[in-house]
A and B are shown apart, each in its own frame.
Chain A
Amino acid sequence: MNFINLFQGVGTLFVQEPKIALARIVLILLGILLVYLGKKEILEPLIMIPMGFGMAAVNSGVLFLSASKIGTIFLEPMVTNTDELMNILQIDWLQPIYTLMFSNGLIACLIFMGIGVISDVGSVLKYPFTGMLIAMFAELGTVATFPIAHALGFSYGEAAAISLIGGADGPMVLFASLVLAEDLFVPITIVAYLYLSLTYGGYPFLVRFLIPKDLRGIVVKSSKKRNNISSKEKLAFDIIACIVLCLLFPSASPLFLSFFLGNAIRESGITRYAKLLEDVFLYSATFLLGLTLGVLCEASTILNPKILPLLVLGILALLLSGLGGIIGGYLVYLINNKNFNPVVGIAGVSCVPTTAKVAQMEVNRVTKFSFILEYAMSANICGVITTAILTGIYVTLVPLL
């Protein structure tokens, strides 16, 4: 028995193509970096720590599966033959999660149910037109990136999935890329989650750059008395909006059902279900999502020539969406006779609740007396709804192109 067969993780480095071996080492180091950045909370730790571990482990634990085949016992994403799949399900330990939760979009729906439980739609019901207007402006990247991506050589499906990074909603990108861009869904989803983690650090600079300090400090005076929204009203909205959106876009109906059902459970006061969806479903699905995405990052993934333009397009989509959101904020500021804080615009980018927090924090840097969180949450949750609508439109129309 020689060294290569005894320590196969190391041994395979010497028998693989040099560029694959090098890519494995780079990905192991990147995995360590993601864990570090997650621990430091520079990137989202809930995703990055399991993803970093998965990435490092899958590129370390490569072995000889047979005399001619090198691989891992984590999972096989590209298997299509049913007999082969049945074999792999009994060998690769994460294959059941991938096949039964990931590739059918269930994991995205579970996360969406959790998001529904933690979202209070009361602010949406108080300011529906303001929220929707800002949220639609904040979808600028979601549509403007589409023709650019197609011009760079991506297929229509891939271009649509990449554009949805601009919607800043991880589960939506995952769902759309599984439907529209199966071959590229791993890199698209990883890029989406990496960049979404960066919105917390990047958007404050965009806000400071585009909105002068005196406008950031505007205190919004409420001229109308607005009644509080009751649970009954929120529940009525949930069921009606769910039915209408499912009628309009059946191909995205799992996402609509998940979000509105989660929210309906919150508003119904079924605390045991609410705790189940938030504490168990949301966090289990987020953990498994991070781990599975990490494990999918095998060396061949980063050697795909489409990765570099994808990285550029992802950041462009989020930048355009942030820009669009701020334009929307300015528009509402003008419509309301300057009685509106345009910083709310950034919250239209639907990274719940990160961008709403960014908006309030940026206002707090200027004045402690301006409280915009309710407007920001309205725009934020409307952003989730508008991104789901655009996902539905893309998933419905792109296959017809």
Chain B
Amino acid sequence: MKDITFAFSVYLLGFAVSVFIAGLIKLVLFIIRKSSGNGVID
């Protein structure tokens, strides 16, 4: 049970970091496009 909990925690943490990176991508693109006056994607 401890192993399953650990694996699940690893997965959740990985998921959270991946979503964070995806959000970071959006933020980086937003800032760059805003500062250069181009359109913002999505």
Contact = CB atoms under 8 A, between A and B. Distances in A.
Contacts of B13: 393
By size class, the interface of chain A is: 35 or more
B21 A143 contact: no
Interface string A115-130: 0000000001110110
Interface stretch (A23-31, A35-43, A224-232, A334-342): A224-232
B40 to A, nearest CB: 8
Given A241-B21, A386-B14, A401 B32 contact: no
Contact of B14 (A129, A146, A237, A389): A389
Nearest to B21: A241
Nearest to B5: A147
B29 A233 contact: yes
Nearest to A249: B17
Interface in A231-254: 232-233, 236-237, 240-241, 244-245, 248
Contacts of A232: 32
A261 B28 CA distance: 18
A389 B11 CA distance: 10
A224 B42 contact: yes
A393 B24 contact: no
Nearest to A148: B3
Contacts of B10: 143, 146, 390, 393-394, 397
Nearest to A159: B3
B6 A146 contact: yes
Interface string B5-41: 0111011011101111111111011001100001101
Interface in A124-155: 124-126, 128-129, 131-132, 135-136, 139, 143-144, 146-147, 150-151
B15 to A, nearest CB: 5
Contacts of B14: 136, 139, 143, 386, 389-390, 393
A315 interface: no
A159 B6 CA distance: 12
A75 interface: no
Nearest to B12: A143
Contact of B6 (A241, A244, A401): A401
A347 to B, nearest CB: 16
A146 B25 CA distance: 30
Nearest to A240: B28
Closest 6 pairs between A and B when the two form their complex, measured CB to CB: A147-B3, A128-B22, A128-B25, A132-B18, A132-B22, A146-B7
7 contacts: A136-B14, A139-B14, A143-B10, A227-B33, A227-B39, A232-B32, A241-B24
Given A244-B20, A389-B17, 14 more contacts: A125-B25, A128-B26, A131-B22, A135-B18, A136-B11, A146-B6, A227-B33, A229-B29, A232-B32, A236-B28, A237-B28, A241-B25, A244-B21, A401-B6
